[in-house]
Amino acid sequence: MDLNYTPEQEAFRTEVRQFLDENLPDDIRERVQKRLRPDKAMTERWQKILFDKGWGASTWPEEFGGTGWDPIQQIIFEEECAIAGAPRQLDFGLRMVAPVIMTFGNDEQKQRFLPGILSGEDWWCQGYSEPGAGSDLASLRTSAKLEGDHYVVNGQKTWTTLGQHADWIFCLVRTSTEGKPQQGISFLLIDMNTPGIEVRPIIMLDGEHEINEVYFDNVKVPAENLVGEENKGWTYAKFLLGHERTGLANVGQWKALMKRLKEVARQEQDGQRPLIENIRFRDRLAQLDMELRALELTVLRVLTDKNGPGALASSLKIRGTEVGQQLFEMLMEAGGQDSIAHIPEALELEYNGPRAGSLDATPSAGDYFNMRKLSIFGGSNEIQRNIIAQLVLGL
Amino acid sequence: MNFDLTEEQQMLNDSLRRFVANEYGFERRQEIIRSSSGTDKATWSAFAEMGLLGFTFPEDFDGLGGNAIDTMVVMENVGRGLVVEPYLATVVLAGGLIRDAGNDAQKADILPGIASGERLLALAHYEPGARYNLSHVQTTARKDGDHFLVSGQKTAVLHGGQANQLVVSARTSGGISDETGLSLFLVDASAKGVQVEDFTTHDGHRTAEISFNNVTVSADNLIGTIDDAFSAIEKAVDLGIAALCAEAVGAMEAMNAATLEYIKTRKQFGVPIGKFQVLQHRMADMFIQTEQARTMAILAASEADSNDRASRREAISMAKTLVGQAARFVGQEGVQLHGGMGVTDEMFAAHLFKRLTLINLLFGDADHHLAKVSDGLLARTA
């Protein structure tokens, strides 16, 4: 047992840090560090830079153009990216649909879809939830009927994150109503430019457009876009959710935010003293700092476990999102009344207008409201507890 | 970066787990607790044979040269079976102090005796009114010719009533809470002027209140340098905290197993109560808290031997805080999920709860260590 990074791992960290120093554009760094509104072009630019370096997919094996890094290297990379102020890469392609295609797709699908994900050319979104199928995902009703060499898709997906930018959507669709609900689900890749698809925005409580409803009205999807076998989609969906959850612990980003929170606590004034000297605030900061350290080490422990994350993935999703939400809450609270003004225009880099309170407080309350999603999406934290109860505890 | 036990540690873990399950069952433990000494000679001899009692001592002194990770493996099993033997008091605390601060003559005199199981030692450090402050010592040691005269009152001396010898901290200079001016002495428990009041603790361990009234101690029995014992005491307590964190993890694991078993078999409304989602989620949270505590116990053990004081103390305080909070949560929930049975003396869960509760109180509770981390944060960002 040794909790120190090896010299090789430290050298790798230095290499990543140096790359980021030299290649992360200043405007992107500034936008991320000030927690301004994310935008599509920024994410695509950064993905291209990583792709050109050969680091487009830190979690993929080399045979598909990934880096082939081990879990510790992946963590180091993510952490350094977050600390440097790099934008988060798009999970939907890289970490969600890609592993499914690699594992269950055919060779043609791998050749067709993986390169676009890697280069960032293709923007993917996820078509899982429906108005009537949230936590009870298996009750989904969007149907796909095979007619000749096409599926005809009808129905509605919702909570589709960044679907307004997407070129492709991976969908769970119902191909059979026989047997248990889980047995009639298939995994379908759909071109968002196909006639019959309509994307309608859902405005979130922070006033931002991040999620969408996606309607399918007699959408023709080539049969070759089915991944794996018909009616086996539930297996692939569960596989994907396992991947998603490990990523949701999000330690690198939380460490960067914690660093920022400590700086803010030192800068913000509480009367004649800096906020960090307010013992009630500082004790809560210390508590959160410890929980983040515990999360970080638990993630490392789980990812280096020879037996794989297993159902511990669920506990990481729970703890990771809880810690993240508390971070955003404390960032808002650190701003005090500076946090109350809602100035959507100030979330753009070029904004030069008036502000209420400090620059740092500008995005804080909005972020806090927005991040309530963390404990809800990716399988709500209550669903994760169900999974632990079933898979770990056998209840 | 790796979290794997070595093959030897894995073997130790397996054999100790078997021993505790087979030889240290609930009934046997109850008998030991009710006995006059509150400890079990046969168990102690078995520990000596397994090499546990000298595990972390140098090989030159009949030890195995182990480290705090080895102690963690032992203590997890101690926690799992609620072993009440003086492992923490004798091997980790007093033994650790002699190992780290004693001279070769003292090590040669004492460590082999601990390793063979013949000698029990205890650390007499905390005092009334000190609460968790390690430098608050009013007991004095006054030089008198080639002897010292030790006078004062010690509290919460774990297994002090069972020890043959006591490692006693005393002030040789400085004010009541100064870190400098502390010295350590080896004192025979039977020496004239030593009065020991032995008590059973709520969790079946033993503790003593010990007073020293002009006890004559030979200068040979000064451990380490005069006036300079504080860092050694702090280090020993850190080793003790790391050990307690591991013990708590073992006890939490046992609590989860006992609770799970209970809610799978206890039926109400015609079904096992574990079918109810409200209990499933609480059980899931107990599991999550235990895994987080396990991570922190590993961190504590990894840092406990370090001489980098700031980083060691931070890790230890972080671990004791989160483990203390988890111990409270898992302990209370475990009892609650057992329903009425949880508050009876016949249930193992009740005994696990009591131990988990007292572990939080020992060597600084969660609030105390949270304040340490919090103050450290201020110092670092200043």
**Best CA proximity match to B294, nearest among A395, A300, A382:** A300
> Is B4 close to A1, i.e. CB distance below 8 A?
yes
Beta bridge partners, A133, equal A130
Picking from B5, B69, B295, B306 by the largest number of A CB atoms within 10 A of its own CB, the best residue to mutate is B295
pLDDT tier, A306 (very low <50, low <70, confident <90, very high otherwise): confident
Nearest CA in chain A to B382: A266
3-state secondary structure of B50: coil
Quote the pLDDT of residue A246: 62
Which residues of chain B neighbour A277 with C-beta distances below 8 Å?
378
Query: What is the reported pTM?
Result: 0.95
Backbone φ, ψ for residue A345 (5° rounding): -65, -25
d(CA B183, CA B224): 8
Residue A249: predicted pLDDT:
81
What is the architecture of the domain spanning A249-392? Up-down Bundle (1.20)
Q: What is the pLDDT, as a whole number, of residue B1? A: 86
- Which chain A residues are within 8 Å of B301, Cβ to Cβ? 1
Is the Cβ–Cβ distance between B280 and B292 less than 8 Å? Answer: no
What confidence score (pLDDT) does residue A305 get? 83
CB B252 within 8 A of CB B357: no
Q: Which of B4, B296, B301 sits opposite A294 (nearest CB)?
A: B296
Which among A3, A297, A395 is the nearest to B283, CB-wise? Answer: A395
Instruction: Look up the CATH architecture of domain A124-232.
Output: Beta Barrel (2.40)
Give the pairing of strands B147-158 and B140-144. Answer: antiparallel
Q: ipTM of this model?
A: 0.94
CB contact under 8 A, B3 and A4: no
Kindly tell me if the per-residue pLDDT of B382 is higher than 60. Answer: no
Residues 6+ apart with CB under 8 A from A238: none
Which residue does chain B place closest to A261, by CA atoms? B381
Q: For position A307, what pLDDT does the model report?
A: 76
Most B-contacting residue of A1, A259, A275 (CB-CB within 10 A), to test interface:
A1
| pLDDT one-digit tens code per residue, B82-93 | 999 999 999 999
What is the per-residue pLDDT for B324?
98
CA neighbor of A202 nearest in space, from A194, A211, A193: A211
Average pLDDT, chain A: 94
Domains located in chain B, CATH noted: 7-118 (1.10.540.10), 123-228 (2.40.110.10), 231-381 (1.20.140.10)
- pLDDT surpasses 90 at B332: yes
Lowest mean pLDDT among A166-175, A231-240, A246-255, B217-226: A246-255
Task: Say whether A249-392 and A124-232 share the same fold.
Answer: no
Rg (CA), chain A: 22
**A–B CB contacts, 8 A cutoff, strictly below:** 123
Q: Is the pLDDT of residue A255 over 80?
A: yes
Classify A170 in phi/psi space as left (phi over 0), alpha (psi -120 to 50) or beta.
beta
Least confident of A136-145, A355-364, B237-246: A355-364
- The phi and psi torsions of A306 (rounded to 5 degrees) equal -60, -25
State how far residue A284 is from chain B, nearest Cα, in angstroms: 8
CA angle, B92 as apex, B89 and B98 as ends, to 5°? 95
Supply the pLDDT for residue A360: 83
Task: Please identify every residue of A annotated as catalytic.
Answer: 244
- Amino acid residing at A51: F
Domain ranges of chain A: 7-89, 124-232, 249-392
Subunit contact A291:B284, Cβ cutoff 8 A: no
pLDDT of residue A391: 87
**% of chain B at pLDDT higher than 70:** 99
Say if residue A61's pLDDT is above 70.
yes
pLDDT on residue A238: 86
For residue B4, give the chain A residue with the closest CA: A1
